[in-house]
C-alpha cells in the first residue's frame, strides 16, 4: 500500500564528474529494485544536470530547500515553482541542518512546507529530537511540536502527497543509529498524530527513517511496520552503498 521511498540527500557534495558516475551507477542498479521508489536530492546548481542524466528513468529528483513565494527580491533563494519547472518532484523541508545552522524556526518550516505544496512539490518534512531532548524524555513533545506547527499552518490536506522523515538529530552524520525499536516507536507515534487529524492520510503517508542508515543496518530498520523507507546522507554518495540499501527494502 505504501511504496517504500529511498532518498539520497547529497547535501553540499558533488562535482559534475562525481555526479555523473554516481548517477550512472544508480541508473544501472535501480531497475533491480522496482518495489522501491528511488529519489536523489542534489544541490541547486546540479539539479538541471541531474535532471538531464535521469531522463528516461524512473528515478525521482528533489531539492534540499526552497524559499517562499514564486519570485522576488530574495537574494540567493530559489522558489518552489522554479524547482517544479526544472523537473523536481520533491523538496526537503526542515532538515535539522537548516533548523540548526540556518536558524529555521517552526513557523518558517511550516511556511516552506505550504509553499512546497502550493508549487506542486511533494515536501519531505524532516523532524527529530536532539540527544539532550531524548535524554530528558522530551522526544514525543518535540516531534509533536514540529508536526503540529505544520498541520496548523498548512492544514492536514496538505499532507496528502507529503512524506515525513524522522531523523533523530543525534544520529545524523554521527554513525549512531536509532535501534529499529526506537525508530518504530517514534514512527508509530507520528502516524498516530496524523491519524488524529485524518485516518486515510495517516495510513497512506510514508514515514522515512534518517540518521546514519547504512547497508548493514538498513534491513532491520526497513523491516519495521511503520518505517516506509530511508533518507540517507553519507551512504547515498556511493552508488554501491545506496543500492545496497535499496536491496534491503522488503518486497
Dist. CA 171–CA 212, nearest whole Å? 6
Is residue 231 within the footprint of ligand PEP (CB under 6 A)? Answer: yes
**Number of residues engaging ligand PEP in binding (CB under 6 A):** 13
Q: Which residue among 37, 95, 104, 133 is the active-site one?
A: 95
Task: Among 23, 53, 54, 213, indicate the residue that binds ligand PEP (CB under 6 A).
Answer: 213
Task: Among 4, 42, 94, 233, indicate the residue that binds ligand PEP (CB under 6 A).
Answer: 233
CB-CB neighbours of 132 under 10 Å: 10
167 is catalytic: yes
CB 161 within 8 A of CB 119: no
Dist. CA 131–CA 6, nearest whole Å? 25
Is residue 232 within the footprint of ligand PEP (CB under 6 A)? Answer: yes
Q: Which is nearer to ligand PEP, 76 or 175 (CB)?
A: 175
Per DSSP, the residues of 9-37 read E--S---HHHHHHHHHHHHHHGGG-TTSE
95 is catalytic: yes
Is residue 124 within the footprint of ligand PEP (CB under 6 A)? Answer: no
Is residue 184 within the footprint of ligand PEP (CB under 6 A)? Answer: no
Is residue 9 within the footprint of ligand PEP (CB under 6 A)? Answer: yes
Residue 62: all three cell numbers together: 528533489
Task: Among 37, 210, 222, 246, indicate the residue that binds ligand PEP (CB under 6 A).
Answer: 210
Q: Which residue among 97, 104, 167, 248 is the active-site one?
A: 167
CB 207 within 8 A of CB 190: yes
Dist. CA 81–CA 67, nearest whole Å? 10
Which residues are part of the catalytic machinery? 95, 167
Residues that bind ligand PEP (CB under 6 A): 9, 167, 172-173, 210-213, 231-235
Amino acid at each position: 500500500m505504501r511504496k517504500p521511498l529511498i532518498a539520497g540527500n547529497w547535501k553540499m557534495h558533488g562535482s559534475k564528474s562525481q555526479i555523473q558516475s554516481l548517477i550512472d551507477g544508480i541508473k544501472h542498479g535501480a531497475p533491480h529494485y522496482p518495489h522501491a521508489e528511488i529519489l536523489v536530492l542534489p544541490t541547486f546548481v546540479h539539479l538541471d544536470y541531474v535532471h538531464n542524466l535521469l531522463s528516461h528513468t524512473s528515478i525521482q529528483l528533489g531539492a534540499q530547500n526552497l524559499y517562499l513565494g514564486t519570485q522576488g527580491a530574495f537574494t540567493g533563494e530559489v522558489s518552489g515553482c522554479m524547482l517544479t519547472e526544472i523537473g523536481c518532484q520533491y523538496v526537503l523541508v526542515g532538515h535539522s541542518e537548516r533548523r540548526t545552522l540556518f536558524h529555521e524556526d517552526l513557523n518558517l518550516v511550516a511556511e516552506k512546507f505550504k509553499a512546497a505544496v502550493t508549487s506542486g512539490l511533494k515536501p519531505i518534512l524532516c523532524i527529530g529530537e536532539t540527544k539532550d531532548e531524548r535524554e530528558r524524555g522530551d522526544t514525543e513533545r518535540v516531534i509533536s511540536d514540529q508536526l503540529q506547527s505544520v498541520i496548523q499552518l498548512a492544514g492536514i490536506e496538505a499532507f496528502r502527497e507529503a512524506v515525513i522523515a524522522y531523523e533523530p538529530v543525534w544520529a545524523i552524520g554521527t554513525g549512531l543509529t536509532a535501534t529499529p525499536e526506537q525508530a518504530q516507536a517514534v514512527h508509530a507515534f507520528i502516524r498516530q498524530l496524523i491519524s488524529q487529524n485524518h485516518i486515510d492520510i495517516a495510513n497512506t503517508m510514508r514515514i522515512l527513517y534518517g540518521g546514519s542508515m547504512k547497508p548493514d543496518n538498513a534491513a532491520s530498520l526497513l523491516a519495521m511496520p511503520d518505517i516506509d523507507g530511508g533518507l540517507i546522507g553519507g551512504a547515498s554518495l556511493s552508488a554501491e552503498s545506496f543500492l545496497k540499501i535499496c536491496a534491503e527494502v522488503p518486497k
